[in-house]
Amino acid sequence: MTALSLCGAALLAFYPPPSTFARLLPADNPWVRDGRFSVPVCNGVQCKLCPFECFLPEGARGRCKVRVNYGGKIKTLVYSKAVSVHLDPIEKKPVYHLYPGSLIYSLASPGCNLRCKACQNWEISQIYPEQADKTTLVPERLDLKTDSASGRVYGELKQKEVATLSPEEIVSCALATRSRAIAYTYSEPAVFYEYMYDTARLARKKGLKNVMVSAGYINREPLEELLEYMDVVKIDLKGFDERFYGEYVGGGLERVKDTLRTLKKNGGLFEIVNLVVPGLNDGKESIRAMTAWIRKDLGADVPLFFSRFSPNYRLASIAATPVETLTRARDEALKQGLKYVYVGNVPGHAGENTYCPVCGRILVRRYGYAVLENRLTPAGGRCPHDGTRIPGIW
Ligand code: SF4
């Protein structure tokens, strides 16, 4: 991940207003492309990509820092500008119901429309694209080698430094690194929509799956169009009251619930993760209300994760989530009738495993990001004991 230097952090505080950037951008900047989802309004354009629907006079930039009115048209400033690219275990997303134990080619561009005080990737999500490193190290290919002495097979990863990473290059690198899917993740992929959409469409043609890891703050029309190419959507449901969303996220809960309802209606796979922050969103009533709503409006089959918070960013003074809090939240979700409830960031917790909701046996045994055992039937993803079909792509 790109780290901001102290100098960069200082620049962040004293940078000129966003409208100045647009005038500095050369017309042939390789990262500037036409943006979608906007309407002309008097003296400017209105972006319709996310619920903020920013009004942008000529030269102004949106709240996400990566969309600008440039010559009366909305432009994205981050097409092919990947700032964080890694080959991850899919469990790290976390996504548990897609190819357990596989590798996923994961990337981000700068920018975000939200202002989460617990952001784990603020060094890339809260910067202007101009502040990102000029080049990024990206995984290029993964070769399997055999150690002649021990006979052990290991992977040798080759990487390369790039200034731009096109959708074609992403797909090619994903295939060469033995990835089974591509994840649009780390920052907020909704705000690099055009880059993600083109990559996902190409990836689908080449047999790769697509995963969007998002806070779900996106308007319905762009979301529905994107879902044609997304195999799994992971939504970070950050809490369950508007006050928390307003104060600690910088958005509104109701719009995220709209996104989740759209995902349910669409019929594709989606999972939910909730980062449990002590004293802020871990109240019993809040967890009960959230899990009851998921059960009622989204169904019992939606995988739900309670992830452990670690002191970070603007919440550095809050202690890590006690494991008992996560266990209690999981118990409540199971009590509400949810079938696949996980605990994240606590290696060794029983809530890392996937259980058959009928016989209770472990189907996928995990430790941290490692899959120790996968007992699902290879065809159809069923429990080998009673044949229960587990939702997912296995
Ligand atoms: S995507 Fe960016 S510019 Fe568009 S409405 Fe959202 S915050 Fe504003």
Instruction: Give me 67's structure tokens.
Output: 């969309």
Q: Is the CB of 60 under 6 A from ligand 1?
A: no
Look at residues 59, 76, 93 and tell me which one is the last residue of a structural domain.
76
Atom of ligand 1 nearest to the CA of 74: 3
Say yes or no: 71 and 93 in one domain: no
Say yes or no: 284 and 216 in one domain: yes
Q: What angle do CA 53, 54, 56 make, to 5 degrees?
A: 140
Say yes or no: 27 and 125 in one domain: no
Let me know if residue 328 belongs to a domain: yes
pLDDT in tens, the chain (394 residues): 444 444 444 344 334 444 445 455 555 678 899 999 999 998 899 999 999 999 999 989 999 999 999 889 999 999 999 999 999 999 999 999 999 999 999 999 999 999 999 999 999 999 999 899 999 999 999 999 999 999 999 999 999 999 999 999 999 999 999 999 999 999 999 999 999 999 999 999 999 999 999 999 999 999 999 999 999 999 999 999 999 999 999 999 999 999 999 999 999 999 999 999 999 999 999 999 999 999 999 999 999 999 999 999 999 999 999 999 999 999 999 999 999 999 999 999 999 999 999 999 999 999 999 999 999 998 889 999 999 999 999 9
Q: What span, in angstroms and rounded, lies between the C-alpha atoms of 19 and 118? A: 28
Say yes or no: 230 and 356 in one domain: yes
Let me know if residue 145 belongs to a domain: no
Let me know if residue 121 belongs to a domain: yes
Let me know if residue 252 belongs to a domain: yes
Say yes or no: 250 and 122 in one domain: yes
Q: How far is the CA of 290 from the centre of ligand 1 (A)?
A: 27
For 307, the 3-state DSSP assignment is: strand
Q: Is the CB of 113 under 6 A from ligand 1?
A: yes
Q: Which of 81, 85, 57, 53 is nearest to 71 (CA)?
A: 57
CB-CB neighbours of 51 under 10 Å: 17
Instruction: Give me 104's structure tokens.
Output: 């996923």
Let me know if residue 170 belongs to a domain: yes
| Backbone CA torsion sign across 375, 291, 280, 327 | negative
Q: Which residues contact 131 (CB under 8 A, 6 or more apart)?
A: 4, 8, 11, 12, 15, 110
Atom of ligand 1 nearest to the CA of 111: 2
Q: Is the CB of 53 under 6 A from ligand 1?
A: yes
Task: Give, in order, the Cα–Cα distances in Å from 350 to each of 101, 148, 218.
Answer: 18, 37, 34
Q: Which of 113, 105, 110, 115 is nearest to 133 (CA)?
A: 110
Say yes or no: 170 and 254 in one domain: yes
Query: What residue numbers bound the domain in which 216 lies?
Result: 84-136+166-374
Q: What share of the chain is helix, strand, coil (3-state, %, to 5)?
A: 30, 25, 45
Q: Is the CB of 54 under 6 A from ligand 1?
A: yes
Up-side HSE of residue 76: CA atoms within 13 Å toward CB? 25
Atom of ligand 1 nearest to the CA of 52: 5
Instruction: Give me 158's structure tokens.
Output: 């080759």
Q: How far is the CA of 196 from the centre of ligand 1 (A)?
A: 16
pLDDT at residue 30 in the model: 81
Say yes or no: 118 and 21 in one domain: no
Say yes or no: 203 and 250 in one domain: yes
Amino acid (1-letter code) at residue 41: V
Q: Is the CB of 130 under 6 A from ligand 1?
A: no
CATH number, position 185? 3.20.20.70
Q: How far is the CA of 246 from the centre of ligand 1 (A)?
A: 17
Protein residue with its CA nearest to atom 2 in ligand 1? 64
Would you say 217 and 251 are in contact if contact means Cβ atoms under 8 Å apart?
A: yes
Look at residues 50, 76, 102 and tell me which one is the last residue of a structural domain.
76
Say yes or no: 181 and 36 in one domain: no
Number of domains in the chain: 2
Q: How far is the CA of 386 from the centre of ligand 1 (A)?
A: 48
pLDDT at residue 26 in the model: 55
Let me know if residue 9 belongs to a domain: no
Would you say 307 and 94 are in contact if contact means Cβ atoms under 8 Å apart?
A: yes
Say yes or no: 51 and 171 in one domain: no
Look at residues 35, 55, 76 and tell me which one is the last residue of a structural domain.
76
Say yes or no: 175 and 324 in one domain: yes
Let me know if residue 381 belongs to a domain: no
Q: Which residues contact 371 (CB under 8 A, 6 or more apart)?
A: 91, 100, 101, 364, 365
DSSP alpha helices (H): ranges in 305-358? 323-335
Measured in degrees and rounded to the nearest 5, phi and psi for residue 140 equal -110, -45
Q: What span, in angstroms and rounded, lies between the C-alpha atoms of 365 and 363? A: 6
Say yes or no: 213 and 239 in one domain: yes
Question: Residue 174 is inside which H or E element, if any?
Answer: helix 167-176
Q: How far is the CA of 123 from the centre of ligand 1 (A)?
A: 19
Protein residue with its CA nearest to atom 6 in ligand 1? 50
Q: Is the CB of 191 under 6 A from ligand 1?
A: yes
Task: Give, in order, the Cα–Cα distances in Å from 277 to each of 245, 285, 307, 329, 346.
Answer: 13, 15, 9, 12, 14
Let me know if residue 389 belongs to a domain: no
ipTM of the prediction: 0.99
Q: Are strands 67-70 and 73-76 parallel, antiparallel or unpaired?
A: antiparallel
